[in-house]
Amino acid sequence: MTVESTAARKTTRGGGKRATAKKAAPAKKKAAAAAPAEAEQDQLVQLLTPEGERVEHPEYSIDLSADELRGLYRDMVLTRRFDAEATTLQRQGELGLWASLLGQEAAQIGSGRALRDDDYVFPTYREHGVAWCRGVDPTNLLGMFRGVNNGGWDPNSNNFHLYTIVIGSQTLHATGYAMGVQKDGADSAVIAYFGDGASSQGDVAESFTFSAVYNAPVVFFCQNNQWAISEPTEKQTRVPLYQRARGYGFPGVRVDGNDVLACLAVTKAALERARSGEGPTLVEAFTYRMGAHTTSDDPTRYRRDEEREAWEAKDPILRLRTYLLNEGFADQAYFDSIEEESEALGKRVREVVRAMPDPDNMAIFENIYADGHALVDEERAQFAAYQASFVDAEEN
């Protein structure tokens, strides 16, 4: 809610800023500062500036209809709203934990909308926007955070694997799945999501090795949101993350993770590359986690407010909104309708979560083994008898 209204306020300001003269000024300032970190940022693939200005890139172009652009906007707003609702539900005690995606909407919607239905996604635990793009009912994502299950959806119904909490593990599953796709002779691709913190994990390194030597059709999509709980990216790497790919023998590209158009274009190209047998790509979406790592975290202990404020100026939703307005692709009535839709989504999420029943006690013993297991059978029967003993006592 707060975030939405902040975004709305800033839109007005952002719209006012859009004079050509003012655009030139920050560019100059940037060149003068020329800190190494900023020089790296200059290599970002960007198609939509933080000011909502459309720019071209020699390698990555995109041509979307007004309808498609509005679709991306809608995806981002609804995803942010869902996320905000989940955060609120956690604060109200309805969820045990929540990992917010606030700030990463463009990275997730851009990459998610680049996928084809027959592509397969291996997420970490923050990919609510990608799940949205895959058509996973957002309320399904809340089961594990509410504590009614440990996963809870059928990965094959939307080609969206379960959330993986051990960071980096899923990059190997994605690689193996992609090796299977390759063996099947299929032309779909696989995408693995992970974060800057996970890039330090051995499994991520091993997945790079395996995918490279087998030329597996997999795209590694790293959302570098700058923080792994309280550890900054400098604690994970001495080189920009996208450059790691070179050592494994495949390309790496850094994209403005707050630019939904660039994320879409770069991911599409990487997926196309995978499909055509050219192997893996590492995409580093340079973005920012505007909220806490999870609701258990307190970022005020380790990062400065100014940092967040600087990133707020690069807000992914805000810049697309500015662009839509300036180009006349959307009007206030459209934005109002999205706002209405997002209210309805929030309401539905609230209602569904609160109505989510605790699982039956016997669920403890369900689905542990596909082919059954004598010990599970024995303990299930004992537990059932134990529970039944209470019922008998009451009846007596």
Partner 1 sequence: MAVFEKITLSKAINESLRASMEADPKVLVMGEDVGKLGGVFRVTDGLQKDFGEERVIDTPLAESGIVGTAIGMALRGYRPVVEIQFDGFVFPAYDQIVTQLAKMHARALGKVKVPVVIRIPYGGGIGAVEHHSESPEALFAHVAGLKCVSPSNASDAYWMMRQAIESDDPVIYFEPKRRYHDKGRLDTEAIPDPLHKARVAQPGTDLTLAAYGPMVKVCLDAAKVAAEEGKSVEVLDLRTISPIDFDAIQSSVERTRRLVIVHEAPVFLGTGSEIAARITERCFYHLEAPVLRVGGFHAPYPPSRLEDEYLPGLDRVLDAVDRALAY
Residues labelled catalytic: 289, 293, 302
- Contacts to partner 1 from residues 96-155, by CB under 8 A: 122, 149-155
Q: How far apart are the first and last CA of the chain?
A: 53
The nearest distance, CB 279 to partner 1, in angstroms, is 15
Secondary element (H or E) of residue 213: helix 202-214
Neighbours of 57 (CB within 10 A): 16
The reply to whether 249 sits near partner 1 by the rule CB under 8 A is no
The reply to whether 178 sits near partner 1 by the rule CB under 8 A is yes
303 near 241, Cβ under 8 Å? no
Q: Smaller CB distance to partner 1: residue 73 or 210?
A: 210
Q: Smaller CB distance to partner 1: residue 212 or 325?
A: 212
The reply to whether 286 sits near partner 1 by the rule CB under 8 A is no
As a residue count, the chain comes to 396
Query: Angle at CA 157, nearest 5°, toward 214 and 218?
Result: 20
Dist. CA 28–CA 43, nearest whole Å:
17
Q: Which residues contact 288 (CB under 8 A, 6 or more apart)?
A: 103, 104, 225, 226, 257, 258, 308, 311, 314
The reply to whether 176 sits near partner 1 by the rule CB under 8 A is yes
- List 36, 93, 202, 357, residue binding partner 1 (CB under 8 A): 202
The reply to whether 213 sits near partner 1 by the rule CB under 8 A is yes
Dist. CA 67–CA 30, nearest whole Å:
34
The reply to whether 174 sits near partner 1 by the rule CB under 8 A is yes
Give the strand pairing for 227-228 and 231-232.
antiparallel
Q: Smaller CB distance to partner 1: residue 386 or 391?
A: 386
3-state secondary structure of 63: coil
The nearest distance, CB 188 to partner 1, in angstroms, is 11
- List 106, 179, 260, 282, residue binding partner 1 (CB under 8 A): 179
274-305 in b/e burial notation, b at 16+ Cβ within 10 A? bbeeebbbbbbbbbbbbbbbbbebebeeeeee
The nearest distance, CB 212 to partner 1, in angstroms, is 9
The reply to whether 203 sits near partner 1 by the rule CB under 8 A is yes
The reply to whether 175 sits near partner 1 by the rule CB under 8 A is yes
The reply to whether 21 sits near partner 1 by the rule CB under 8 A is no
Size of the site for partner 1 (CB under 8 A): 45
The nearest distance, CB 293 to partner 1, in angstroms, is 20
The nearest distance, CB 190 to partner 1, in angstroms, is 8
The nearest distance, CB 147 to partner 1, in angstroms, is 13
The reply to whether 199 sits near partner 1 by the rule CB under 8 A is no
255 phi and psi angles, rounded to 5 deg: -120, 150
List the 252-256 sheet strands across, edge first.
120-122, 190-195, 218-224, 281-286, 252-256
What secondary structure does DSSP assign to 21-59, as a single string? HHHHHHHHHHHHH--HHHHHHHT-B-SB-TTS-B---SS
Q: Smaller CB distance to partner 1: residue 212 or 330?
A: 212
- Contacts to partner 1 from residues 354-373, by CB under 8 A: 366-371, 373
Binding segment for partner 1 (CB under 8 A), chosen from 79-87, 91-99, 107-115, 203-211, is 203-211
Q: Which residues bind partner 1 (CB under 8 A)?
A: 122, 149-157, 161-162, 164, 166, 169, 171-181, 183-184, 202-203, 206-207, 209-210, 213, 366-371, 373-376
